[in-house]
Chain A
Amino acid sequence: MLKIYAISKTFFPNTVNEVRALQKVSLTIEEGSFTAIIGTNGSGKSTLLNAIAGTFFPDEGKITLDGTEIINWPEYKRASLVGRVFQNPFAGSAAEMTIAENIVMAMRRGQSRPLRQAVTLSVKEVIAERVRLLKMGLEDRLDNPIGTLSGGQRQALTLLMATWLKPKLLLLDEHTAALDPKSAAKVSELTKNIIQQEKLTALMVTHSMQQAVDLSDRIVMMHRGQIVEDYRDEMKKRVRVIDLMETFDRVQKRELFDESVAALLEKQYV
């Protein structure tokens, strides 16, 4: 479904602030799988997601989605294949516009925008039906500006919007990290249900290892712009949070003793 071949991205190249955010990362995601990407801050996990979404163009490498080479597609064009939910619960909807208007825009994601009235009574009924399934009582508030809702409610609606038209790939960028624990649990559960019901292919970046273990069927660990660990199938079923923690520690210790340090020690003591 999604194939990433050796993509690299260096921010601020040839300056003191140079960051090698992605270093020849390759990853293949099968259709219908739910992959979680975990890693420390600055490990490149969000950068990887943004590279797929098209927020920036990688320095090298290729990305194919559903058999199409998309590396040269701008962000808005990729939206026809990709649904997204952002970390910021306010980033996925237009605050001053009503719930119905926001959803009606998502109902034509990546399609033409004809000069017909967008929010009609019949469209509103369709929207109310799907919104009722969220069990948040929002179906009676379709004409309220979406900015009057809480972060959790907006994130639930953003998830609904991203999946209204079945995307080839659903990208979730730490989408519960900015929510209070109760809302986060609710959105987490909703994510699981929608992905199962619609049989979506999903890629989720998360800080929460518990969430990665609970929701996904594959866990990829990143560190310093590279994939360091890939738990899948039987291995994923056995993995627990504590195992992930240990791997994290191991990776970080290995880091303390990298090649340059080894060379330094060699010079001094050998």
Chain B
Amino acid sequence: MNLIIGAFTIGLILSLLSLGMLISFRMIKFTDITVDGSITLGASLSAVLIMAGWSPWLATLLAFLAGSLAGMITGILHTRFKIQEILAGILMMTALYSINLRIMGRSNIPLLDTATVSSGFEKLLIELTGGEAKLLVFGWPVSLADLAVFGSSLILCTLIGILLTRFLRTHFGTVLRATGNNPQMVRAQGVNNNTMVIFSLALSNGLVALSGALLAQYQGFADVQMGIGMMVWGLASIIIGEALIGKTGLGVTITGAILGTILFRLLIAIALRWGLNPNDLKLVTALFVFLALVTPGMFKSMSNKFFGGSRHA
């Protein structure tokens, strides 16, 4: 049970990463690798601030803003200085590696026995249960601390999901979604598509950094290496979400990204339980994304060969 709650919690936290990438990758069609750096930025900044005695909420908010700034710079590199999108992302990601080391002062900061954004929720749970340390969920004992993180992640994630859906349905959000679809059309409607790209990348990386801040608080440390491969993980989650419930409509797409992330974390937890070497995890994920990107086309040509071919024979 602990394993499942844990996978669910990480899934919920990382779904903010997926939502961020949904904006960059799917809506403005920008392959943004800044993500690998900005998730660590969120984690390292919030960890340092919390260790310095700041409120975890304020630290998390600042992490969001720092991530937005990073995304904004990537956007400016691409739009203002005409650097290819992948390269703009790589430049920012590389710069962030040093920046993150500067922020932390070393490569790893442990966050033990510090207050987190779920501390308040945990206190509330303890009061409600009358001081029990563990609670039975479907007959399994689960520690209140774990339950508190799970609960607060669930609330936060739902809230952000709803806010994002509503935002993307506004006049501004509608143009944002059109920007990746047809920038020429967006310009013809009187909107500077470059500004939309910069704003979208800021929002996207803000969400990613937020996810990083929550992740650091949950796992109890921030590490300068923690962002490596995160972009591919987010991508895998988005693809699973789309396969799971499709992409008809905005609400469906956003729910899909969240559910996809949770399912992906569950699959990983199960695979690790069955003895998958954790070192192989990123290779397996990369292979999965490769297959997910390639198979739809392959299925089409295969069915053409089998069905189309036999019909004409």
Q: Would you call B84 an interface residue if the criterion is a C-beta within 8 Å of the partner chain's C-beta atoms?
A: no
Q: How far, in angstroms, from A95 to B183 measured CA to CA in the complex?
A: 11
Q: How far, in angstroms, from A80 to B177 measured CA to CA in the complex?
A: 20
- Chain A residues with CB under 8 Å of B192's CB are 74, 76
Q: Which residue of B lies closest to A106 (CB)?
A: B189
- Chain A residues with CB under 8 Å of B178's CB are 94, 97, 101-102, 105
Known: A92-B185, A96-B181. A116 touches B170 (CB 8 A): yes
Q: Which of B169, B175, B187 contacts A119 (CB 8 A)?
A: B169
- Chain A residues with CB under 8 Å of B190's CB are 76-77, 79-80, 108-111
B187 and A76 form a contact (CB under 8 A): yes
Q: Would you call A13 an interface residue if the criterion is a C-beta within 8 Å of the partner chain's C-beta atoms?
A: no
- Chain B residues with CB under 8 Å of A101's CB are 174, 177-178
Known: A76-B193, A77-B190, A79-B187. A113 touches B181 (CB 8 A): no
* B-side interface mostly: helix
List A residues 80-123 near B (Cβ within 8 Å).
Answer: 80, 84, 86, 91-97, 101-102, 104-106, 108-111, 113-119
| Tally of contact residues, A, Cβ under 8 A | 32
Known: A94-B178, A97-B178, A113-B175. A118 touches B169 (CB 8 A): yes
Q: How far, in angstroms, from A93 to B173 measured CA to CA in the complex?
A: 16
Q: How far, in angstroms, from A107 to B164 measured CA to CA in the complex?
A: 23
Q: Would you call B112 an interface residue if the criterion is a C-beta within 8 Å of the partner chain's C-beta atoms?
A: no
Q: Would you call B182 an interface residue if the criterion is a C-beta within 8 Å of the partner chain's C-beta atoms?
A: yes
**Minimum distance in angstroms from A205 CB to a CB of chain B:** 16
- Chain B residues with CB under 8 Å of A115's CB are 167, 170-173
**Minimum distance in angstroms from B11 CB to a CB of chain A:** 27
B182 and A93 form a contact (CB under 8 A): yes
Q: How far, in angstroms, from A77 to B169 measured CA to CA in the complex?
A: 24
Q: Would you call A230 an interface residue if the criterion is a C-beta within 8 Å of the partner chain's C-beta atoms?
A: no
Q: How far, in angstroms, from A73 to B165 measured CA to CA in the complex?
A: 34
Q: Which residue of A lies closest to B182 (CB)?
A: A94
B181 and A95 form a contact (CB under 8 A): yes
Q: How far, in angstroms, from A66 to B170 measured CA to CA in the complex?
A: 31
Q: Mark B132-176, 1 if CB is under 8 A from A, else 0.
A: 000000000000000000000000000000000011011111110
A79 and B175 form a contact (CB under 8 A): no
Q: Mark A150-193, 1 if CB is under 8 A from B, else 0.
A: 00000000000010000000000000000000000000000000
B181 and A118 form a contact (CB under 8 A): no
Known: A76-B193, A97-B181. A117 touches B166 (CB 8 A): yes
Q: How far, in angstroms, from A113 to B199 measured CA to CA in the complex?
A: 14
Q: Which residue of B lies closest to A92 (CB)?
A: B185
Q: Would you call A229 an interface residue if the criterion is a C-beta within 8 Å of the partner chain's C-beta atoms?
A: no
A94 and B169 form a contact (CB under 8 A): no
- Chain A residues with CB under 8 Å of B174's CB are 97, 101, 104-105, 113, 118-119
Q: Would you call A217 an interface residue if the criterion is a C-beta within 8 Å of the partner chain's C-beta atoms?
A: no
Q: How far, in angstroms, from A119 to B170 measured CA to CA in the complex?
A: 8
Q: Would you call B188 an interface residue if the criterion is a C-beta within 8 Å of the partner chain's C-beta atoms?
A: yes
**Minimum distance in angstroms from B134 CB to a CB of chain A:** 44
- Chain B residues with CB under 8 Å of A75's CB are 187-188
User: Which residues of B are at the interface with A, using a C-beta cutoff of 8 A?
Assistant: 166-167, 169-175, 177-178, 181-182, 184-193
Contact sample, A vs B, 25 pairs, CB 8 Å cutoff: A74-B192, A76-B186, A76-B191, A76-B193, A77-B190, A91-B185, A92-B185, A92-B188, A94-B177, A94-B186, A97-B174, A97-B178, A105-B171, A105-B189, A109-B189, A110-B189, A110-B190, A113-B170, A113-B171, A115-B171, A115-B173, A116-B171, A117-B166, A117-B170, A162-B188
Shortest 3 CB-CB contacts between residues of A and residues of B = A110-B190, A79-B190, A94-B181
User: Which residues of A are at the interface with B, using a C-beta cutoff of 8 A?
Assistant: 74-77, 79-80, 84, 86, 91-97, 101-102, 104-106, 108-111, 113-119, 162
Given A96-B177, A118-B171, 16 other A-B residues pairs in contact with their CB atoms under 8 A: A74-B192, A75-B188, A76-B186, A84-B188, A91-B184, A92-B188, A93-B185, A94-B177, A96-B181, A106-B189, A108-B189, A109-B190, A110-B190, A115-B172, A116-B170, A118-B169
